[in-house]
Chain A
Amino acid sequence: TQLLEQSPQFLSIQEGENLTVYCNSSSVFSSLQWYRQEPGEGPVLLVTVVTGGEVKKLKRLTFQFGDARKDSSLHITAAQPGDTGLYLCAGGSPRYNNNDMRFGAGTRLTVKP
């Protein structure tokens, strides 16, 4: 059972479209991270959110942490082919016995020119 559920699993859109991907859990997190990973590379950190209801913007990307700190969303405005990649969310909690974070399975985004 995946602690963090990401949806959709796959998303293919045209350049210029807007999109939202989701990261949901029944657990409360002290922080949540979003990463983007390209094939054959390591995940690159996009943002960390720590406060319930927090919204952070990174150019065309908007990240929101749910009020209850159990879920998060990533919205991309006017997607570009360079946004193509695997988007991973990861939740952090000092409660975990053997790791600081748990990763979702990711949303694989393809933006067609």
Chain B
Amino acid sequence: EADIYQTPRYLVIGTGKKITLECSQTMGHDKMYWYQQDPGMELHLIHYSYGVNSTEKGDLSSESTVSRIRTEHFPLTLESARPSHTSQYLCASGGAGTETQYFGPGTRLLVL
């Protein structure tokens, strides 16, 4: 069982608000990822990090930003939420030398 946590699990917010989705892992993994997944659809990578102070954009363009100041923490921020941001956001982490990723429970975001 992987030790990776996401908060909040559910968030309903109005358009224009700034939000931060939290992701933390206690496994000491260098690699961390953010995916976006609409209901019944595939996962799309939006951000990833291979270590502290390293962040890159993924395959799917996103208006969100991320930071990696500490190994265990990889928060995602939306400066101004819009209804098009409504989705499930999944955080994952993986150890060096392995391609396997372990996922958190996800944050379901609804922007009204």
Contact between chains at B100 and A103 (CB < 8 Å): no
Contact between chains at B100 and A105 (CB < 8 Å): no
Residue B88 at the chain A interface, CB threshold 8 Å: yes
Contacts A98-B56, A103-B42, A108-B40: A42 and B105 contacting too (C-beta < 8 A)?
yes
Q: Which chain A residues border B45 with CB–CB below 8 Å?
A: 98-99
How many chain A residues touch B (CB < 8 A): the figure is 27
Residue A55 at the chain B interface, CB threshold 8 Å: no
Q: Which chain B residues border A43 with CB–CB below 8 Å?
A: 43, 90, 103
Q: Which chain B residues border A33 with CB–CB below 8 Å?
A: 99-101
**Cβ contacts A45-71/B at 8 Å (1 or 0 each):** 100100000000000000000000000
Query: Complex formed: what's the CA distance from A93 to B99 in Å?
Result: 7
